[in-house]
Every structure is written in C-alpha cells, then in structure tokens.
C-alpha cells in the first residue's frame, strides 16, 4: 500500500513537472518569436523580474499574431446566424422605433402632429421628417424599460409616444415595428453579438495553430534560448 502511494506521488510529481516545463517552454518560444519578429515593444515594461517581463512580451506577441490572422467575413456571420437562429429568440416583447429629440416644445408638438397625420400613408413626407430631424433608431425591450413608461410602449398600441420631457429636452417616439416574445431577432440587430462569438471561436483555432507552428519552429530547431 505504501509503495502504491509512493508511486502515485512520483507520477503526480512528474505530471506536474512536465506541465510546468511545457508552460515554461511555451513562454520561451513566444518570447523568442517576439524578439525575432520585433513586433512587440518589449522594453516598455517597468518590471525588474525578467521572467514576468518575458511572459508579458510573449503573450502580447501571441495576441498580436492572433489579431492579424483572424479574419471574419460577413458570410461567416450569416452562416452562423442561419445555423443558430434559436439562440437569438426575444426574451420579451420589443418595439423598434424612431426617437426624435428637440429642445423646443413647439417643435416636439409639430413632430407629433405630423407623425399622427401621415403615419404610413405618406412615405415622402415621413422621409422629409427623417431628413430634417435625423432621429435615432431604438429597440426597446419590455424587460428593460422603466415601469412608468411600460404602458406607453406596450399596453397602449399607439404608434406615437410623447413628447416626453427629460431635463430640457423633449422626446417623441414613432413605433415602426412590434415584435412578440419568443420570435427570432433579425440578423442586423444581433450582428455585433454574432461577430464576437465567431471571433472568439476562430481566434481560439488560430491561437492553437500559431502555438503549434511556433513550438515546431523553435523547439525542434533548437531556437529556444
């Protein structure tokens, strides 16, 4: 029993030792690659600990390589969206609207009057209103709106909300689309989220490829220092 425990301790020791050596070897490889490529300003670190300094330089160099080699195409984003639509379900009702803002109550009332009059019946006049006041576009989720405004956007089915006064400004909302909870979000509204996901996946693949390539180049050719 004692011999078995001794064997386990020895195996564990060598396993930990090998993992530590592997990590140290990787840090050396990354550092040497950074020095050879001169892609990282490795003299800007104020630390006096050379080992910490080498580690920082090496991994900074690795991140630079990953960024330079990770290319995300729009087709990649579209494919991810089409294959994972069920990941982009709305967690609540939403309204997509135009938000007009002005510091004059008269202008705010004129915008509201115009919106109520034309609505969807006069696209040219609506376009002129957009060009004149340049409203922002907002996507409002029922779970992330203040209770005091919930009824205005979700209980009442009005297309025009406001003017609402905030400090010295007046806001008017024109609701263009309503979406029910559980429906799939459109590609444009989740494009940034998809980019982050695809970048994370692809950059991890690129990272492993870079490490494998550098380990072969520097370790097998005796270039580690």
Q: Do both 104 and 168 map to the same domain?
A: yes
161 has which bridge partners?
Answer: 173
Please check the confidence at residue 32 and state whether its pLDDT lies above 70: yes
Report the pLDDT value the prediction gives residue 108, as an integer from 0 to 100: 94
Same domain, 204 and 171: no
CATH number assigned to the domain comprising residue 128: 3.10.50
Clarify whether residues 34 and 96 are in a common domain.
Answer: no
Q: Is residue 8 part of a domain?
A: no
Contacting residues for 99 by C-beta, under 8 A, at least 6 apart: 135, 136, 137, 138, 171, 172, 173
Rounded to an integer, the average pLDDT of 83-104 is 94
pLDDT-derived band at 50, boundaries 50, 70, 90 = low
Which range, of 40-44, 67-71, 216-220, averages the lowest pLDDT? 40-44
Categorize the per-residue pLDDT at 53 as very low, low, confident or very high, splitting at 50, 70 and 90: confident
**Domain assignment of residue 77, yes or no:** no
* Any domain includes 62: yes
99 and 138: one domain?
yes
pLDDT of residue 218: 80
Indicate whether 110 and 162 sit together in one domain. yes
User: What's the pLDDT tens digit per position in 165-223?
Assistant: 988 999 999 999 999 999 999 999 899 999 999 999 999 999 999 888 888 888 655 55
Residue 83, pLDDT above cutoff 90: yes
Q: Based on the structure, what is the number of domains in the chain?
A: 2
- 119-177, pLDDT tens digit by residue? 666 677 888 889 999 999 999 999 998 888 898 899 877 889 999 998 899 999 999 99
pLDDT exceeds cutoff 60 at 102: yes
- Show the domain range for 202: 26-72+198-220
Could you tell me the pTM of the whole model?
0.66
pLDDT score recorded for residue 133:
92
- The residue with greater pLDDT, 29 or 163, is 163
Percent of the chain with pLDDT over 90: 46
- The pLDDT of residue 120 is 62
- Within a domain: 209: yes
Q: Is residue 174 part of a domain?
A: yes
């Amino acid at each position: 029993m004692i011999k078995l425990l001794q064997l386990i301790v020895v195996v564990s020791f060598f396993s930990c030792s090998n993992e530590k050596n592997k990590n140290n070897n990787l840090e050396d490889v990354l550092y040497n690659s950074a020095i050879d490529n001169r892609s990282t300003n490795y003299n800007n670190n104020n630390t006096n600990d050379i080992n910490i300094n080498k580690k920082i330089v090496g991994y900074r160099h690795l991140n630079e390589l990953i960024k330079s080699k990770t290319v995300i195409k729009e087709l990649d984003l579209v494919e991810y969206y089409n294959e994972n639509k069920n990941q982009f379900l709305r967690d609540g009702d939403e309204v997509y609207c135009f938000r007009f803002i002005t510091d004059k109550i008269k202008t705010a009332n004129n915008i509201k009057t115009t919106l109520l009059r034309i609505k969807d019946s006069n696209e040219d006049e609506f376009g002129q209103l957009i060009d004149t006041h340049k409203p922002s576009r907002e996507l409002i989720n029922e779970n992330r709106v203040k209770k005091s405004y919930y009824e205005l956007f979700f209980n009442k089915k009005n297309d025009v909300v406001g003017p609402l006064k905030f400090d010295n400004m007046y806001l008017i909302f024109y609701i263009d689309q309503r979406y029910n909870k559980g429906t799939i979000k459109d590609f444009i509204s989740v494009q940034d989220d998809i980019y982050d996901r695809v970048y994370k996946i692809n950059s991890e693949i690129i990272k492993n490829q870079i490490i494998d390539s550098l380990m072969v180049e520097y370790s097998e050719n005796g270039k580690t220092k």
